[in-house]
Chains A and B, each alone.
Chain A
Amino acid sequence: MVATSPNDAFVAFEHVQKSYDGVSLVVKDLNLAIGKGEFLTMLGPSGSGKTTCLMMLAGFETATHGRIMLDGTNINEVPPHKRGIGMVFQNYALFPHMTVGENLSFPLEVRGMGKSDREAKVKRALDMVQMYSFINRRPAQLSGGQQQRIALARALVFDPSLVLMDEPLGALDKQLREHMQFEIKHLHESLGITVVYVTHDQGEALTMSDRVAVFNDGRIQQLATPSDLYERPDNSFVAQFIGENNKLPGTIESIGDGKCTVRLETGEVIDATPVNVSTKGAKTLVSIRPERVEYKPEAMPAGAHTIDAEVMEFIYMGDMFRTRLRVAGSDEFVIKSRNTLGQRMLAPGEKIKIGWAPQDARALDPM
């Protein structure tokens, strides 16, 4: 399912570059192979080039350099209407002057399909999103979530093997968004289609995807499964962009055998795992997930390095506690702990010791 080389990929970007103004590159030498049936998410801040990549794949933008391959053929010169790619737009783009049924029928009509076939397909697609009873409504008469389902059904009604989604859930409220995430994921699994999904919401990306490509500055920073991305970020950008991270700047004291020690700016020396630093004396940024930090001595992992901390702020969040600490001269060190039975609530000003396993402290490039 996951394509590793461009040869067995269903969709492949090969050395793709894109410039709008001839001065700067929006997409810089993009290489990406997407396997058949894969759910791949392009994640990144706005202006990172992810939407441009999607638009090039859909055919609304042309690549300035490089090739885009779909199922083994170069589609650089193929106009959008001949690509046969389903697309869900950010604002749904349901045709306002047509009913739901006519909206879904449209892609079938332009393909010259007969009336009875069209009706059957429209019914099947609407049943798929549980919206058949709305077939005679106009888009303006539907709620955002309902429009979203219709847009999804319309992108799927002509049985495309590849479906592109451009921040499709951006306009929905949180609860509906989470619900639709699962619905889209289930549709993807049951239909076996390939999905390329663009979002700037990391939660969405982690929940839905087989693999996530993190974009920044026109390049893919890391292409990995959600768990790898979260637990083993390749560089500081990914570590900061995905989830929350504590940053401890320092220099490499010793390195070798997959381990290193880092001298922090305040003088403490901690154990860490080197990721993209290799030389002794190099500047580094040690990144530790807030939920991997422990403050109860009895629960401290084996081989953990302990360090002094002072509680600055304690926030009760219901299922979680969020504690802000002063660690190694920084006030921004955060730990998260579950609200389990007998969990102790810390008070500001309290002096504690915290610790973490060396493999959770990742020494990354300084930003």
Chain B
Amino acid sequence: MVDLTAAPDMLRTADGRPLKAALAQAQRKAKWRAFFLVLPLLAFVVLTFIVPILKMLERSVNHDGFSSNAPTLVAWFNDHPATADIPEDAYAALVTDLQQMQKDKTAGAAGTRINYTVPGTISVFKSAAREAEKLQPPYKDALIASNKMWGDPLVWVAMRNASSAYTSDFYMVSADLKRDAAGNLVRVEDNQRIYVYLFVKTFVLSIVITVACLLLAFPIAHLLAVLPMAKSNLLMILVLLPFWTSLLVRTSSWIAILQEQGIINDLMVWIGVFSEDGRVRMIYNQTGTIIVMTHILLPFMVLPLYSVMRVIPPSYARAARSLGATSWTTFRRIYLPQTLPGIAAGSLLVFILAVGYYITPALVGGADGQLISNLISFHMNKANWSMAAALAAILLAAVLLLYWLYDRLIGIDRLKLG
């Protein structure tokens, strides 16, 4: 036998060219043709997906509202290290900038940037800019006299941090952290910690929804996979029905079913389980979010499970039974392990969709059924692009981390989505 591994450089074509080069040339044309065929899609994806995401990531670390509108103060910050006591020339620089802001009508933009870390500063900037022309030196006393917040070291820490357009402040805020007067990161007061709590709640609710979907979908998917074609097609239509109905219609029908005067409550009162005064509200709260989202996301669990189960031959279960396994052992040791790619794919899909779900919690979540997406949307409505971007970036990172974990544990090549 020819030893191919010993001297790979000896492999040459008949006219003496290296085999690898000859192969590459032979395939070049086909590769270019394939590339041109996917080029439109590639351009579309880059323009509409990758570029916006990169832009969003950039926004989450970049906000020039203060740095571009307060150049004098920024220059002063660059020349002087941070001190506890702010000298007069810093206030002078600030007033110069405020006067310019009034002319350019940019005090709001600068104030907005500082407002992220020190709430309530937008109005302070706006009013100070209005009065800037009339202020007389010493500016320090004059400014503090107009609003004592100008003497607050937190404001100065915030302005120093905002003197560069690039900042991690939005991530800091997203992690419920703030800077104290000395510039150290500390947690915000208990009653202001909303982001971490909401992230945790979003993940916990998503896990609950994923598990509920899995428990409900597994028997249906199995039934779909084993029933004769005619019956399983009918069942499949029932499973896919939610897909074909408007999200709003589905959501409002759940409202009709779950509300206090709704069908379930009426039924329970009629049977006598609940008393007339003991009606339970199952919508506009966390319960509503879980129930409705489980229903909406169920097909995303059923389909991957079904596609995996359909190709598991019944002879495996028969073999296990003939080898002496009870039906439970057969399920646990033989059937379940073979459905794992479907379970993993469905769970990943449902979880990722649930984590970023917006419309359903907004419609039926009430006060305590809101998820992180609703907060992102809130910031977007307020044009707090950077804050929304930072929260979205954290969500994206969490999902990517999950994806990576999945790849490590199960292998992305085993993902089966139907």
Contact = CB atoms under 8 A, between A and B. Distances in A.
Interface string B312-326: 010110111111111
A81 interface: yes
Contact of A111 (B321, B324, B334, B338): B324
A93 B313 CA distance: 8
A203 B22 CA distance: 51
B219 interface: no
A81 B326 contact: yes
B123 interface: no
A91 B315 contact: yes
Given A96-B338, A106-B333, A110-B329, A87 B319 contact: yes
Nearest to A106: B323
B120 interface: no
A6 interface: no
Contact of B321 (A60, A86, A158): A60
B318 A107 contact: no
Contacts of B324: 81-82, 84, 107, 110-111, 158
Contact of B316 (A95, A111, A154): A95
A97 B323 contact: no
A90 B338 CA distance: 20
Given A81-B326, A89-B315, A110-B329, A95 B321 contact: no
Contacts of B321: 59-60, 79-81
A85 interface: yes
Contacts, number: 64
A86 B327 CA distance: 17
Contacts of A85: 322
A97 B410 CA distance: 13
Interface in A197-236: none
Contacts of A154: 323
A58 interface: yes
Given A89-B315, A93-B315, A80 B322 contact: yes
B52 interface: no
Interface in B82-96: none
A80 B327 CA distance: 10
A247 B334 CA distance: 52
For the complex of A and B, list the 8 residue pairs with the smallest distance between their C-beta atoms, beginning with the closest: A107-B323, A93-B319, A93-B315, A87-B322, A80-B321, A110-B325, A97-B337, A110-B324
15 contacts: A60-B321, A79-B321, A80-B321, A81-B324, A81-B326, A83-B322, A85-B322, A86-B323, A89-B315, A94-B319, A95-B338, A106-B323, A110-B324, A111-B324, A158-B324
Interface of B: 313, 315-316, 318-327, 329, 333-334, 337-338
Given A93-B319, A94-B319, 8 more contacts: A80-B322, A89-B318, A91-B313, A93-B316, A93-B318, A95-B320, A107-B325, A110-B324
